[in-house]
Structure 1
């Protein structure tokens, strides 16, 4: 695992979040329900609303690879009837809290995939190059629909990916080395 819940909220993180939503990010406790499934935040939150009332809060889980980059992942959590925010989805790596950036306009629509948003840490040229190539790759792949769904890619787009991928992977390896 490279990205994780940020430890603190600093100016660089706030600047990244401001690109996505005017809301202030906040730490939210992860308290999954017994039937909740990893990676099913939208249905887990809807099921919690059906059981206990409240509403779904839409937005972004904010992750950070310290010194390298930030990542925003489209996410939903539960707002209890008293207004308390809880993430009812178990985390893949067992996190007990997340950083949540509210974005009421980011309502889940199964017909509209929202790709993760990356942002390089300030002053890290390797991360800036990596993020630029990751964005280019995503633009190509996301044109074919939701990731993980088998779609035939055109030879031209495959050639574009083939040109990007080696450099993108080399930059990632450089980021891993620190």
Structure 2
């Protein structure tokens, strides 16, 4: 009986010691002054769900449904002549339709990280300044023209959900805005 008590005390002491040791030696990520300054300058702007037509052979073949949110420079976003959301929506049409960043027929070469970088660089180029720090892709899906026609005609067929775009690494769009930023954006509306 006494052995059992000593064993229990020993196990508790070792467990508490290892937890204490791991907490003491765990270090928070080191943030440089430049990163801290940039974090103070940025805010998250929730995007809107937009529909972008896929045009090939002179006709609409389908539609991308996309919802992008952005990490932006607060001061530069407030000083824009046209509000940021409207500017972004306009610029996204130019980037997504004009540059054909996604080949719907063959998504095996699609890279989500490259897509985010291309959108960020394209927006900053159109704004002629580094307004956008990062792009969060919350949703990126495709509806073919036949799917849209089927939905519009309310056929008795089971409705299909939009097809998520999967990149060459098997990643789909699932970025999330930080919770504190979601609450701040909701309070601002």
TM-score category, normalised to shorter length: under 0.3
TM-score, structure 1 as length reference: 0.25
> Hey, which of these two has a bigger chunk of helix by percent?
2
TM-score, structure 2 as length reference: 0.24
